[in-house]
Amino acid sequence: MIDQWEPGASQDWSKWDHWNQTTYWYSTTQYDDPVWGKVFYGRARRDVNGHTYIYNYLPTVTINAGTTYIVSFYVKTNTDLVQPFRVYFTSVHTYNSVNVQVTRTYNLRANEWTRVELLFTPSQTYSNQKYGIEFVNVPDGQEFWIAYPQIVENQYPTQN
C-alpha cells in the first residue's frame, strides 16, 4: 500500500507532491469524512496537453518484474463524466521515460463514489520510480473528490 512507501500519505493529501500544484489544480483542500476518511477535493486545471494529475514522487518506489500490482482509489465528481485515468511509473532520473502505464476509462455519475482500479504486471524490475495518476483529457475546472488511494502488490485491493 502507499503507506508502505510513505507512512500517512494515504491519510494526508498534503504529503502528496501535487498538493497546491497550480499547474494542475485551481484549488486543493482536504477534509475528514466520517465514512471516507481523509478526502481530497480539487478543481482540475488542464495542462498544455489537456490533463491533470495526482502524484507522489518522493520517496521513490521499486516495482518488481512478474509481480501484479493494483493502483486504486475512490473518486466522485459533481457532473456525469466519462473519464480516462492512467497510472504511470517513471524513473526519478528522467521525466520523459515512462516505464509502466495503464489506462482505463470510467463512467462517473454525479455525486456518486466510483472505485477506480488500474492493474498491471511489469515485465522487468524498475527501481527509483515516481508514480502518479493522470486524468486524461480532463474538463477544465472539473471538480473531483478522491479517497483511499492504494498501491497493492496483488489483484485484490483492500476493501472498505
2-152: CATH topology is: Jelly Rolls (2.60.120)
For the chain, list residues with pLDDT below 70. Answer: 1-11, 93-98, 155-160
CB distance 54 to 19 below 8 Å: no
Average pLDDT, the chain: 84
Query: Is beta strand 37-44 parallel, antiparallel or unpaired with respect to 52-63?
Result: unpaired
CB distance 38 to 148 below 8 Å: no
pLDDT value at residue 138:
96
65-109 pLDDT, tens digit per residue, is 899 988 899 999 999 999 999 988 888 766 555 677 789 999 999
- The rounded percent of the chain whose pLDDT value lies above 90 is 44
90 is written with which cell numbers?
517513471
142 is written with which cell numbers?
472539473
pTM reported for the whole predicted model = 0.85
Burial 97-121 (b: 16+ CB within 10 A, else e): eebbebeeeeebeeeebeebbbbbe
